Structure 1
């Protein structure tokens, strides 16, 4: 982090007055505003989750944070500096499979380092180290089709973290996993985050997951023109086990409070989806 940004206490990521408007797919020639008046901050070392109804623009915000999408209005700053083009200080873990099928797990994890110019032997040694950290020490020679869904997610996580980004962007990375594997992955992410304390912006539709993992949870309204309508500090002690804390009174209290804000918006989003498919 630049010394000036650190001294000023600048957030790792700041979306200020962001709006994203697109040409509507359903009605050519008409415009559709996905998100509007979004002000979102993620502090250095902070874990922030964004939740909301289906279609509320959560992934749009993540693409803006990654520099993959320029906002129609507003600005994005990374450690106090305006974001122009791709966010080089961020690593992005997608919801969809990101591993190259023709590369082994080791080669997939090493790829980003090699693309940055690191010598192959050094990149592979670092990739092997990270495979070990995510529980895949003995599986570096496996191709994606030879790995389970959980193993592929571990490899994808190593693929992002090996680059040592200052900001980690995660788009519902565990949604396709069974509940047991999902909880294991959530705990692994928390352990790795606890060690490195990177800024994390985490997109999820699962309120339990958001509360269990985060320092703050931001609730988005139903679209169109979705915007933040609630922000909750998760004051549960760390380190956490995502299964165990769900049984605590404070977790249930937080869940009830956030769901009280979300409920009406989720119903709105559900009705909108029904209308689209009718």
Structure 2
């Protein structure tokens, strides 16, 4: 019998808890560790639609990247049906669906979010962007004009669009950071990058950065790349369990090219 704890333990062998940021909330966040698992649903976020999908498909466990609750940005003080997060948590508990979340530990892990993102964009000879192993830096097989590279990013990540600024350099040595990694622009510059692909960049990030091209490809597209890999690894490890990827959770934020 495969239990929720078995799945959590496997995920921690891939993305150890010690890699998570001090403020993060990872691991089994909802559910019974000893409950049997027959069906797993993987997703970037646990939304109301994902909970409903899990109910409809008979999933016992949801494995997500973003924590279903994290006091760093959404303090959990109540559990009420007239609150969005309350409805999500209530839906999980009432339907006996467990939730395991692997966040910044999976960002930093070998083969995690940033390695998959770098591979998706064709980067070679990669290395960590930061001491905490967040982000990756690598080189393209051949140099590309920035406009061609932005089209490449949109196509490979399935972006609705993107924002970028042109520092006048062709694209060859590239830093990537899944999710909001704008705080690491200085590290990308120090490592000799001409381009940085990440998300959630601020107005002044674009205004003040002159040393490299900045590409904001969106939070969902830069991290959604890990979900198929989550699904693949779980299915390969737990062959007796049915593992699938959410079809209800999609990027709902439209970005515009400038």
For the aligned pair, the TM-score class normalised by the smaller chain equals under 0.3
Which structure shows the bigger proportion of residues in helix conformation?
A: 1
User: Relative CO higher for 1 or 2, CA cutoff 8 Å, sep ≥ 6?
Assistant: 1
* TM-score when normalising by structure 2: 0.25
TM-score for both structures, normalised by structure 1 = 0.24
